[in-house]
């Protein structure tokens, strides 16, 4: 069960974070395009994560 969870988290790290309706849906091309778009999606998420970060109150 733990290995299954680890595999899921590994796949989640490699998955695009935004929808891409025009992306192919065939297994091999889907993986290739997903591997290319994931870094761009994560880069696109950086400003949003920075804006949502809160300053700890003292």
Quick: pLDDT tens for 18-38.
888 888 889 899 889 988 999
Residue span of the structural domain in which 28 resides: 2-52
> Which of 49, 40, 42, 46 lies closest to 13 in space, CA to CA?
42
Q: What's the rounded Cα separation, in Å, for the pair 16 and 35?
A: 8
Residue 19 contacts residue 38 (beta carbons within 8 Å): no
Has residue 16 been placed in a domain? yes
Question: For the chain, what is the domain count?
Answer: 1
Tokens of 3: 């290995």
pLDDT at 51: 78
**Within a 10 A sphere around the Cβ of 52, how many other Cβ atoms?**
7
CA distance to 2, 23, 39, 54, per residue, from 30 (Å):
27, 7, 15, 36
Has residue 58 been placed in a domain? no
Has residue 57 been placed in a domain? no
Q: Convert the pLDDT of each residue in 4-21 to its tens digit.
A: 999 999 888 888 888 888
Has residue 19 been placed in a domain? yes
């Amino acid at each position: 069960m733990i290995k299954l969870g680890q595999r899921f988290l590994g796949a989640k790290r490699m998955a695009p974070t935004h929808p891409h309706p025009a992306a192919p849906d065939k297994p091999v091309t889907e993986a290739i395009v997903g591997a290319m778009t994931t870094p761009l999606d994560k880069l696109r998420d950086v400003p949003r994560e920075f804006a949502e970060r809160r300053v700890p109150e003292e």
